[in-house]
Amino acid sequence: MNQIVDVFKIPCGGPADLRAAKALLQSGALRAQDIVAVMGKTEGNGCVNDFTRELASRAWCDLLAPLLGTTPEAVHARVALVMSGGTEGVLSPHFTVFARRASTTDAPRTDKRLAIGIAFTREFKPEELGRRAQVNATAEAVTQAMRDAGIDDAGDVHFVQIKCPLLTAQKIDEALQRGAPPVTHDTYESMGASRGASALGVAVALGEIDTAQVQDEDIRSDWSLYSSVASTSAGIELDHNVIIVMGMSAQADSDYLIAHGVMRDAIDVAGVRRCLREDFGIDPDTQSEALRQRVVNVLAKAEAAPDGKVRGARHTMLNDSDINSTRHARAAVGAALASVLGDTALYVSGGAEHQGPAGGGPFALILRA
Amino acid sequence: MNQIVDVFKIPCGGPADLRAAKALLQSGALRAQDIVAVMGKTEGNGCVNDFTRELASRAWCDLLAPLLGTTPEAVHARVALVMSGGTEGVLSPHFTVFARRASTTDAPRTDKRLAIGIAFTREFKPEELGRRAQVNATAEAVTQAMRDAGIDDAGDVHFVQIKCPLLTAQKIDEALQRGAPPVTHDTYESMGASRGASALGVAVALGEIDTAQVQDEDIRSDWSLYSSVASTSAGIELDHNVIIVMGMSAQADSDYLIAHGVMRDAIDVAGVRRCLREDFGIDPDTQSEALRQRVVNVLAKAEAAPDGKVRGARHTMLNDSDINSTRHARAAVGAALASVLGDTALYVSGGAEHQGPAGGGPFALILRA
Amino acid sequence: MNQIVDVFKIPCGGPADLRAAKALLQSGALRAQDIVAVMGKTEGNGCVNDFTRELASRAWCDLLAPLLGTTPEAVHARVALVMSGGTEGVLSPHFTVFARRASTTDAPRTDKRLAIGIAFTREFKPEELGRRAQVNATAEAVTQAMRDAGIDDAGDVHFVQIKCPLLTAQKIDEALQRGAPPVTHDTYESMGASRGASALGVAVALGEIDTAQVQDEDIRSDWSLYSSVASTSAGIELDHNVIIVMGMSAQADSDYLIAHGVMRDAIDVAGVRRCLREDFGIDPDTQSEALRQRVVNVLAKAEAAPDGKVRGARHTMLNDSDINSTRHARAAVGAALASVLGDTALYVSGGAEHQGPAGGGPFALILRA
Amino acid sequence: MNQIVDVFKIPCGGPADLRAAKALLQSGALRAQDIVAVMGKTEGNGCVNDFTRELASRAWCDLLAPLLGTTPEAVHARVALVMSGGTEGVLSPHFTVFARRASTTDAPRTDKRLAIGIAFTREFKPEELGRRAQVNATAEAVTQAMRDAGIDDAGDVHFVQIKCPLLTAQKIDEALQRGAPPVTHDTYESMGASRGASALGVAVALGEIDTAQVQDEDIRSDWSLYSSVASTSAGIELDHNVIIVMGMSAQADSDYLIAHGVMRDAIDVAGVRRCLREDFGIDPDTQSEALRQRVVNVLAKAEAAPDGKVRGARHTMLNDSDINSTRHARAAVGAALASVLGDTALYVSGGAEHQGPAGGGPFALILRA
């Protein structure tokens, strides 16, 4: 049977506020057993000590466990919960829920529609993070998730969201005592290493780069290696990678579409404007009502340009010891996208190492068909 | 004689890096005795303990004093030095220098051009900040600065930039000991109070509101009272208000134009796009080269919407105890404007109390004629 | 019957890490139904957007609910969960669990031992926080908690811990729309207002000051009004005050003692050293083993001196717009106390408005008898 | 001739407030030409973008230049200006000025007194920082500064203060483009690398370790290698190392003494208490007046224990992405020392890589004889 994907964007009053989700479930519009993924933006710092991600995940597990007849812990194995911290600037905390159910037919369509698949890697040792071990395990899992989504052609993949682990002071210490030095001793830096290796895993799986091209020392160093559809997000609350593949499939009867593009830098909204016009026929300047009714969300990555410049002018994000650069970058990219879409509940996630070109990042637009 | 205003935008590698300014002065393109105002964006936090403003002011005084044959301290009385801290997100530190010289004629033009004037208030006592005393003294000084600019009609004023004092713990304590309680005991909050009262002074001077309308308790409370052209910025380094009035005058032969508008909220760039198209004939989507060659700078204010919402969706700027809301707001508005103008060296200043509608703020575009 | 209070200090690897608590419960050393209060230090910012408090509370409710045969929500009505955010500097996250059970006798002792009692106020409206309404309701609840503790004499009360609400942007907006202006529009500042009013409620209940002495305008202004045993802590996760009274009672057969004193300023550890020597016979310089074995915890309050000085020298905590002053103060007081006690898992809570003298705060030592 | 060193501790109201210094100079108690070093604590974040150091240095150069008959820039070559940012917690901003003049005799004393010497290294390339090149150049300069101080025996050296460069985004980029990868791509992390290499330079010079023991990969990794008297501080405002050696010499007729010790961890004040009692005959508990009159300053280093623990309990300084660990550590060590000395204007500097044992750091006490 074909799949049907439904997408719900839900506001919240705090990381654990699931009143709107509860209402949806009670109304019957959303069925717990159909939920395959939840992508949340929570109001933490998005860095090492961001516990809003854990709080939100916990609230979702507590909500879904009785409905699925399982324990809160077991929910993690059924639903890809990806909580991305950081709603700097105008960004508004919210959850995007992806539900998948069987269609009434298995006839391939002439047009393609939104399809989704998920997969998980094994747990990583601290010293594997940010290195080839993580790249390769991720690549395998992406291939698995494509199969789960019913997508054969890498060209039909428009977004691969990954949640990956980070190093804490404890993990670093434990590894060092075993004589297995991790890739960095800095917890904040480890987030970038894990995100970068995971993104390269996507690039390998989709044939954007060859696995032989990636050596340990290229990770976070050779920015010419990247994926145009990877979005990776590190969190303290897990030890393995969670993968969500989204794309278009003739075996999907969803009422939703997805398209993607690349921002060359943090203020490059030309691609988004073009995507709206060319892929979906919406003029963002004059058709604000169409924007409001059709656009569900944009999924995008943000980072401070590693060369210290945007359009040739110096930025200060990497020299700011009071605010981490990922927070600056989310605030900037979030506002730039919001100024086009007229909506601030956007999924903008920080740290785009090997996700799109240096200083830029991939974006995907999900719209009603 | 008519006046001619020249505008120079100068990048810097740090708050005290004036190499580019020195080169301009040495080349003869800029003469020290013509400089009437410098508006800087420096890379501090823009809040109470932002010493980058003082450092930049000091560097400018040290640079100009020998050229003007005076002491560094005396430069402050000749040049309006307005340093606004905070280059969050993509914003790039820079200085905008306004130089004014006599034209060769005093014949009024048929078209109007950029004109500028400055003035200073007396020093304020701590307990006057954020209250009517500051409003009224500011209104008087604005009128004086209009006269200095050769602008009679309030409708020709497009931007009034003010630098105003704030309360430090020391000032608060001193006032309390004299039995003169200041408007707040919180240093960060005092910045908003001082900015708000100064902006209402502009509104009074320009006839946007009537002086009788403003009571002490309206300041930072009745957001229906505001100026559409005021931009006020608080700093630890002064005890009086510095006023810069910019507008259009038939008695000005400058090669520059200025126009203004209002952002209704932090992502409202429609007005800027319209202003570019209608006032200056530039399509920001297709004429990036014209943008680059003609736009000198945008001067804009940013603030977190006090009702906690942008376009109906919750924002978290006012509940964030790690990053002050002015920093969030500058990052957002800066990126939204940069995404239109293709330039990140923009003058976006935080805290728009009584400057434009609540959550929004005024903007002014300066272009080559 | 007399009461027996047991006190357990439990380390944690994160706000929701209750492995050590689980082990204690499984061992039988601690029974769920005996727990009356949990005082936690969690690793958030201790300010408005500190969700580690909610996460820890949630984890405790989830742990205790099945053991108490009730729902997680209902645990709040049985156990006083006071989570204080902020473990700056050397402070180590941990939970202190207070369990109370009936003794085998009701004969009054000749010496007094640790006793505990709890109570709750009604929910407060936003506009009641930081005002007399909160003072009076708190005073009533303190009296109730003393009764619950079996303490008649105010002189036997050594510590009153209170958890109180704060104002969020949403609450402020809601109140304003009802025409009921809250005491402040600043969320961070509302924490101090709520803490201050709650502390004055303790002072009123214990006869330290007279209720007629406290007017709305004295709160956070007349620092001569204070309680020497109040410790109040504001959090986003509740709308009422939770009160825990600790003291000494002849009707208690506990193996624990409590004593209190006052720090005059943030570095005043002389009182703690004296209390150890005089009340408990321990020389902190030479008897580190006795310290380690007998001291369970110190409960203390920290604040930045509102006059901007410590021992006559300027401090910068109140002018720092990057780190809130409560975070600075906890780091300082925590380290000063840790340097005496040789232990960093201490309950040091920030914001000592009307709790001890200005710039200082009360402390209580809990020791094994 | 013997040397006489005078030491002055001067409070300030801001990084550029030298009113107290001016008064001293005008009174004749301090002569500009005698000043060899100024060690300041300024109220910045002490990290990469701390411009309070540059502001203070600039103010000192502006003050001294006319008195020395030279330019502000040239003052740097005559006076070792070491500005250490960060006065977290109770720490109070101040300057310690060291002046050196010839005695009236060259007869060696029977007792030793405070002596001081300074030296400078060459400028470093970005890729030399945090590597052996910096270690070796520093070791040479320390030997030179000992000679300048008239100290032959390494055992008479009690403190070596070093100011060293850091990497900015610009420097990193420049080095990468030359194909010379710097030791790290993270600006904040580069501060630790530069401090660590500089400290190992001291250890080599004083024979604490052998130069052959130090390989590039040991820097910030093998914590068993350290100096017990090094204190190094990184700043954005210089490209070479500045070295100040302090010790005791029979060729010095100063009215001041210096002694040193080591804090094993951030709360270990036992050594300071012992040093006061044994080296100087002052009981810190009972002789507060002697403390006040004789102690000029303590010079100390602070760092977050790299294993994530203090006295066996977890600390959160290294996992905190809102406040850098050096800020936490200064707040903690500053308050612990202040609680012993009864004074908050202390020179506590952050980042003790290879300075004292891991998690601890050296301290030196300067007292009136």
What mean pLDDT is reported for chain D?
Answer: 96
Give the model's pLDDT for residue B2.
96
In chain C, residues with a C-beta closer than 8 Å to the C-beta of A63 are none
What's the gap in Å between the CA of D179 and the closest CA on chain A?
Answer: 12
In chain A, residues with a C-beta closer than 8 Å to the C-beta of C51 are 14-16, 43-44, 51-52, 55
Give the span between the Cα atoms of B47 and B186, in whole angstroms.
Answer: 12
**What is this structure's pTM?**
0.95
Place of tokens 């049907």: A4
User: Residues B337, B341, B343, B344: what is their CA dihedral angle, to the nearest 10 degrees?
Assistant: 0
Give the model's pLDDT for residue A236.
83
Q: Is D350 annotated as a binding residue?
A: yes
In chain D, residues with a C-beta closer than 8 Å to the C-beta of B13 are 170
Mean pLDDT, residues A300-313: 95
Rg for chain C, CA atoms, rounded = 19
| Residue D309 pLDDT greater than 90, yes or no | yes
Identify the three-state secondary structure at position C140.
Answer: helix
Q: What's the CATH fold of domain D113-246?
A: 60s Ribosomal Protein L30; Chain: A; (3.30.1330)
| Residue B187 pLDDT greater than 90, yes or no | no
3-state secondary structure chain A: CCEEEEEEEEECCCCCCCHHHHHHHHHCCCCHHHEEEEEEEECCCCCCCCCHHHHHHHHHHHHHHHHHCCCHHHHHHHCEEEEEECCCCCCCCEEEEEEEEECCCCCCCCCCEEEEEEEEEEECCHHHCCCHHHHHHHHHHHHHHHHHHCCCCHHHEEEEEEEECCCCHHHHHHHHHCCCCCCCCCHHHHHHHHHHHHHHHHHHHCCCCCHHHCCHHHCCCCCCCCECCEEEEECCCCCEEEEEEEEEECCECCCEEEEEEEECCCCCCHHHHHHHHHHHCCCCCCCHHHHHHHEEEEEEEECCCCCCEECCEECCHHHCCCCCHHHHHHHHHHHHHHHHHCCCCCEEEECCCCECCCCCEEEEEEEEC
In chain D, residues with a C-beta closer than 8 Å to the C-beta of C317 are 89-90
Identify the three-state secondary structure at position C149.
Answer: helix
Give the model's pLDDT for residue D77.
86
Q: Is D308 annotated as a binding residue?
A: no
Place of tokens 């501090």: B44
Give the span between the Cα atoms of D161 and A279, in whole angstroms.
Answer: 63
Place of tokens 């200082």: C360
Closest C-alpha among D318, D98, B294 to residue A172: D318
| Residue A207 pLDDT greater than 90, yes or no | yes
| Residue C265 pLDDT greater than 80, yes or no | yes
| Residue A339 pLDDT greater than 80, yes or no | yes
Ordered alpha helix ranges (H), B232-324:
270-280, 288-294
Q: Is B357 annotated as a binding residue?
A: yes
Q: Who contacts A301 (Cβ-Cβ below 8 Å, separation ≥6)? A: A231, A333, A348, A349, A350, A351, A352, A355, A356, A361, A362, A363
| Residue B65 pLDDT greater than 90, yes or no | yes
A206 pLDDT band (50/70/90 cuts)? Answer: very high
pLDDT tens sequence across C195-210: 999 999 999 999 999 9
Closest chain C residue to the Cα of D313, Cα to Cα:
C92
Q: Is A37 annotated as a binding residue?
A: no
Q: What are phi and psi of C207, to 5 degrees?
A: 75, 15
Number of neighbours of residue D33 by Cβ within 10 angstroms: 11
Give the span between the Cα atoms of A209 and A212, in whole angstroms.
Answer: 9
Give the span between the Cα atoms of B216 and B176, in whole angstroms.
Answer: 18
Give the model's pLDDT for residue A226.
96
User: Residues D59, D63, D69, D74: what is their CA dihedral angle, to the nearest 10 degrees?
Assistant: -20
Fold match between domain D113-246 and domain D255-368? yes
Question: Based on the number of CB atoms within 10 Å of its own CB, is C340 exposed (0-12), middle (13-18) or buried (19 or more)?
Answer: buried
Give the model's pLDDT for residue A75.
96
Q: What's the CATH fold of domain B3-102?
A: 60s Ribosomal Protein L30; Chain: A; (3.30.1330)
List residues forming the annotated binding site of C for substrate.
53, 84-85, 195, 233-234, 330, 349-350
Give the model's pLDDT for residue B235.
85
pLDDT tens sequence across B235-292: 887 899 999 999 999 999 999 999 999 999 999 999 999 999 999 999 999 999 999 9
Mean pLDDT, residues B119-127: 97
CB contact under 8 A, A315 and B87: yes
Q: What angle do CA A101, A104, A109 make, to 5 degrees?
A: 95
A170 pLDDT band (50/70/90 cuts)? Answer: confident
| Residue D235 pLDDT greater than 90, yes or no | no
Give the model's pLDDT for residue C170.
87
| Residue C237 pLDDT greater than 80, yes or no | no
Q: Who contacts D22 (Cβ-Cβ below 8 Å, separation ≥6)? A: D63
A186 pLDDT band (50/70/90 cuts)? Answer: confident
Closest chain C residue to the Cα of B170, Cα to Cα:
C308
In percent, the amount of chain C with pLDDT more than 70 equals 100
C77 pLDDT band (50/70/90 cuts)? Answer: confident
Strands (E), chain C: 3-11, 35-42, 80-85, 94-102, 113-123, 157-165, 230-235, 240-249, 256-263, 295-302, 309-310, 313-314, 347-350, 361-368
Catalytic site residue A233?
yes
Give the model's pLDDT for residue C133.
97
Number of neighbours of residue B25 by Cβ within 10 angstroms: 18
The angle, 0 to 180 degrees and rounded to 10, between the axes of the packed helices D52-68 and B52-68 is 30
Give the model's pLDDT for residue D187.
86
Give the model's pLDDT for residue D185.
85
Domain ranges for chain A, please list them: 3-102, 113-246, 255-368
Which of C310, C333, C339 lies at the smallest CB-CB distance from D344? C310
Give the span between the Cα atoms of D16 and D58, in whole angstroms.
Answer: 8
What mean pLDDT is reported for chain A?
Answer: 96
Which of D51, D72, D322 lies at the smallest CB-CB distance from B51? D51
Closest C-alpha among A17, B160, A106, D331 to residue C236: A17
| Residue A237 pLDDT greater than 80, yes or no | no
What's the gap in Å between the CA of C93 and the closest CA on chain A?
Answer: 13
pLDDT tens sequence across D96-145: 999 999 999 999 999 999 999 999 999 999 999 999 999 999 999 999 99
Contact A355, A226 (CB under 8 A): yes
**ipTM of the complex model:** 0.94
CB contact under 8 A, A313 and B266: no
What's the gap in Å between the CA of A114 and the closest CA on chain D?
Answer: 37
Token representation of residue C174 = 């809601």
Give the model's pLDDT for residue B185.
86
Catalytic site residue D22?
no
Give the model's pLDDT for residue D188.
83
User: Residues B102, B103, B106, B108: what is their CA dihedral angle, to the nearest 10 degrees?
Assistant: -120
3-state secondary structure B156-201: HEEEEEEEEECCCHHHHHHHHHCCCCCCCCCHHHHHHHHHHHHHHH
Give the model's pLDDT for residue B238.
87
First to last CA, chain D: 20
Q: Which CATH number fits domain A255-368: 3.40.50.1820, 3.20.190.10, 1.10.10.10, 3.30.1330.160?
A: 3.30.1330.160
Distance of CA C353 to the CA centre of its chain: 13
pLDDT tens sequence across D65-97: 999 999 999 999 899 999 999 999 999 999 999
Q: Is A303 annotated as a binding residue?
A: yes
pLDDT tens sequence across C285-339: 999 999 999 999 999 999 999 989 999 999 999 999 999 999 999 999 999 999 9
